[in-house]
Amino acid sequence: MRAIWNSSLAVCLAFCALGPGAAPARAAVAENIAYDLGAIRFLIPRIEASGSPLSDADFKALLDVNTPETLAQRLGRLNAASISAPQMILEIKAGSNVNRIVYSDLKITGVADGMVETAGVAGAGGVMADPNGGEMKITYGAMTLRKINLALMLRLYASRRSDPNEPLASVYEDFSADGFQMTSKDADISVGKMTGSGIRARALAAPLGDILALSKEMGPPGSKPSPEQMQRIFSILGDFMQSVEIGRVEARDMKVRVKKEPGEIGIGRIFMGGFGGGRLAEIAYENLSMDMPDGKAKLARFGLRGLDLARAFAAMADALRRGDTEFKNTNPRLLIPTLAQFQIAGLDLDVPDKLGQGNSEDGKRVLFSLGNFEINAGGYIDGIPSALTASLSHLLFPVPSRPADPRLEGLAAMGITKIDLSHGMDILWSEASREIGIREYSIDLGGLGSARLSGIIGNVPKDLFSSNMALVQAAAFGALIQSADLKIINLGIFEKALAMQAGQTSQTPAQLQQTLVAGAAMGVPAMLGGGTAARDLGNALAKFAAEPKNLRITARAKAGLGASDLMLLSNPAALLEKLEVSAAANE
């Protein structure tokens, strides 16, 4: 992306002296043109303009940096059938180093009134200083831009916005670049086709030339910026978010080959779309892979949707203006960006475990895969979502027969050789009803069984989402549990747990099962006061214990259960009197 901008600026600077008129019989030629923008310097050994009435002398005079006319003024008078330059040289100052990139075979068509139909270079290459020592060899493939606003592009680099309400305009309609390669002593990096469209902007409060100068002031990577520099950084970032829009940008087939510890990292596609006003509609990385000598990993997709940074950056900028450089006196809620969706899909991992507590049979490796993990959030109130869904689908991993990890010992003892875990959550707060609806909270163990809980919590005011913790606490204490519905389906987990428990006693599984049936049928009603609801619950639990297929328990609080009612947990019979309970098994 940076190469596209830099080459576009070079094109822009090359055009500045051309004026209107009929196409001449020969091209106007100028040589040894140089433009110094501080941290960036452009050199154009030779440039030709066809379709302009200028003579060579006029052309060279208009390209003179000492002319009283600004470059932007000259671009406004630009009309030419075509522009060409065999070479453009970009020099970037980085500390004591000067990095050079040479663009070859510049060709532009359809130049009129500061606009260009097409512009491109055949390729580019150069050698730059490696921050880790040594050099980096860089090569770009052919690059093309369409419908370029040269005057606006120049203003982005060299001019400060005078009108705070200046509207955004198209910088260029679309671009494409045929790949990129970089080679250094540590790694080789390559990127395939890069494309983008819908690039809109306005002149910045601090032009890009000033931003590059600021990066130079801040010293080498890792240097801590001063409070004044921090203020400038956040001011620049905040203005950039409000002054640039990107329709879409995409890069394909990225590969990184590490040399010190041989291995390769690949990304099939990087995508960003819908950036503007400090908000990003979507960013995604697809078909990621890591292939190292001792391990492999694959990820089909990592993505974010609806990322809103505007409020967080505004709060940071305000804190810095107040001198709160460490944000200790700033509401932390204001510093958190909001997000509509987070997703990880198609993860497959096979890597070594240095502690020898992995889940391979010998404990030396970590093995698992994941179908999909996704979080969706909305209805943000003071930085907290009032609507939240989450799902985890098919987290698969083997369970060794003798696990070195103590967390797997219980599963192995039940004879479970693999886990297939899925999980779901769907929670929504309604301002109108002042209720939190737990529409789903579920766990599914694949072929072993599942459980699903739903319910309603009432008397929940908006204060629960306040940044004032005293209000949050008061709202939480005032909330009332109104109902709960639990569904359990057994597909084998009950039998495995029963067998494990029997193995730890002198009973057989059948004998232990009979004990559970009797305990449910008689012990549960006795513990719960012996009423009708207690007997129904005991009978349902006994029936499920005798033939474990499915169980459903529904409870509704007559007046709601509040914080004070939790004290009754030590007295289940008294707690049951406040509930309407129904239970059924194997229906």
Q: Read out DSSP for 361-382? A: TTSSEEEEEEEEEEEEEEEEET
143 falls within a domain: yes
State which of 417, 443, 469 marks the end of a domain: 469
Helix (H) or strand (E) holding 291: strand 279-292
Task: Give residue for tokens 């908006």.
Answer: 462
At 129 the pLDDT is: 79
Give me the residues paired with residue 305 across strands: 282, 341
314 falls within a domain: no
At 320 the pLDDT is: 85
Distance of alpha carbon 81 from alpha carbon 22, whole angstroms? 10
513 falls within a domain: yes
Domain identity same for 393 and 463: yes
Domain identity same for 419 and 537: no
Non-local CB neighbours of 305 within 8 Å, separated by 6+ positions: 281, 282, 339, 340, 341, 343
281 falls within a domain: no
pTM: 0.83
Helix-strand-coil split of the chain, %, nearest 5: 25, 45, 25
Angle (deg, nearest 10), helices 208-217 and 227-243? 150
Distance of alpha carbon 461 from alpha carbon 34, whole angstroms? 66
Domain identity same for 575 and 535: yes
CA nearest to 482, candidates 442, 455, 453: 455
Distance of alpha carbon 7 from alpha carbon 18, whole angstroms? 19
Please report, as a single letter, which amino acid is at residue 135.
E
CA nearest to 548, candidates 486, 495, 512: 495
At 213 the pLDDT is: 67
423 falls within a domain: yes
Q: Which residues of 309-332 are buried (b: 16+ CB within 10 A; e: fewer)?
A: bebbbbbbbebbeeeeeeeeebee
State which of 181, 205, 223 marks the end of a domain: 223
Q: Which residues of 504-542 are buried (b: 16+ CB within 10 A; e: fewer)?
A: eeeeebeebbeebbeebbeebbeebbeeebbebbbbbbb
Domain identity same for 400 and 547: no
Count of domains observed in the chain: 3
On the CB side of 479, CA atoms within 13 Å amount to 20
Domain identity same for 131 and 75: yes
Q: How far apart are the first and last CA of the chain?
A: 62
Print the SS3 string covering 172-193.
EEEEEEEEEEEECCCEEEEEEE
Domain identity same for 8 and 47: yes
At 11 the pLDDT is: 43
At 215 the pLDDT is: 67
354 falls within a domain: no
Domain identity same for 465 and 532: no
Distance of alpha carbon 423 from alpha carbon 389, whole angstroms? 11
Distance of alpha carbon 508 from alpha carbon 480, whole angstroms? 44
Domain range spanning residue 531?
479-587
* Sign, CA torsion 512/518/520/522: negative
- What Å distances lie between residue 343 and 388, 393, 398, CA to CA? 14, 12, 24
On the CB side of 10, CA atoms within 13 Å amount to 38
Q: Which residues of the chain have pLDDT under 50?
A: 1-25
Domain identity same for 435 and 399: yes
Domain identity same for 458 and 509: no
282 falls within a domain: no
323 falls within a domain: no
Q: Which token pair is 73?
A: 């003024």
Domain identity same for 451 and 500: no
Task: Say if CB 544 and CB 519 are below 8 A apart.
Answer: no
Domain identity same for 59 and 188: yes
State which of 175, 192, 223 marks the end of a domain: 223
Domain identity same for 399 and 500: no
* Alpha-helix residue ranges (DSSP H) falling in 373-531: 409-413, 469-478, 493-503, 509-518, 524-527
